[in-house]
């Protein structure tokens, strides 16, 4: 039987990142009843996998088992071409335990300087996984390409948004209205694939 997500289903959004939780709620546009892993007090699993897809599945499965609800997880990050794809799956970890993204963005800039890089091409990836308690799971991936800019610009969004200028635009994600980012982001592109698979 094909897997379906019926409108109005109660879903646990398996994230402790408020910026992500807000964007996922915007992208889902009221299709489901949402509760976050943070609101349910679910533990944060260690992200022990080596890919976005692996970590998204790990987080969705952990939240589904702990809550008994269908779970949606996002594993995402910024990849820089001149840094061989770093920070990639380590994007959150580059900000350290205090989640200092000003420091993380500076670290990206320093690494590019050390490498003598002239190419500032970068991309965001989002893997979205849906897991049923005790059951199957589905995972998809979306990507948006762009260029890094320094110094950081804009105070909207979260994480690395102030240094990422998507292809074709002059503004960074940090300067865009939420609806504009949600119209083109890696997360929105992943959700389009999830819709095709499950809705």
Using CB under 6 A as the criterion, which residues of the chain lie in contact with ligand ITT when the complex forms? 15-17, 20, 44, 47, 74-78, 91-92, 101, 124, 157-161, 173, 185
Q: Which residue's structure tokens are 């091409």? A: 121
Report whether 108 contacts 163 (CB < 8 A): yes
- Least Å from the CB of residue 10 to ligand ITT: 19
Give residue number: closest CB to ligand ITT: 159
Q: Toward ligand ITT, which CB reaches closer, 173 or 191?
A: 173
Active-site residue, selected from the candidate residues 74, 75, 161, 182: 75
Q: Six-digit token pair at 186?
A: 């890696």
Report whether 11 contacts 70 (CB < 8 A): yes
Report whether 175 contacts 153 (CB < 8 A): yes
- Least Å from the CB of residue 51 to ligand ITT: 12
Q: Toward ligand ITT, which CB reaches closer, 32 or 174?
A: 174
Asked if 84 is an active-site residue, the reply is no
- Least Å from the CB of residue 105 to ligand ITT: 10
CB within 8 Å of 63: residues ≥ 6 apart: 12, 14, 37, 42, 69, 71, 73, 131
Q: Toward ligand ITT, which CB reaches closer, 10 or 93?
A: 93
Q: Which residue's structure tokens are 């889902």? A: 28
Kindly list the catalytic residues. 75
């Amino acid at each position: 039987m094909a897997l379906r997500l019926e409108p109005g289903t109660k879903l646990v959004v398996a994230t402790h990142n408020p910026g992500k939780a807000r964007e996922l709620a915007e992208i889902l546009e009221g299709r489901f009843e949402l509760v976050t892993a943070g609101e349910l007090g679910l533990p944060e699993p260690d992200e022990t996998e080596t890919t976005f897809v692996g970590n998204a599945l790990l987080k969705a499965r952990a939240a589904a088992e702990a809550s008994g609800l269908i779970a949606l997880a996002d594993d995402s990050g910024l990849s820089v071409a001149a840094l061989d794809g770093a920070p990639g799956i380590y994007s959150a970890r580059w900000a350290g335990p205090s989640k200092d993204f000003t420091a993380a963005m500076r670290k990206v800039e320093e690494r590019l300087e050390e490498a003598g890089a002239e190419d500032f091409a970068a991309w965001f990836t989002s893997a979205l996984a849906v897991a049923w308690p005790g059951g199957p799971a589905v995972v998809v991936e979306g990507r948006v390409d762009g260029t890094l800019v320094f110094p950081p610009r804009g105070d909207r969004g979260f994480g690395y948004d102030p240094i990422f200028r998507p292809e074709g635009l002059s503004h960074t994600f940090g300067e865009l209205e939420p609806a504009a980012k949600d119209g083109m982001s890696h997360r929105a592109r992943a959700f389009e694939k999830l819709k095709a698979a499950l809705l």
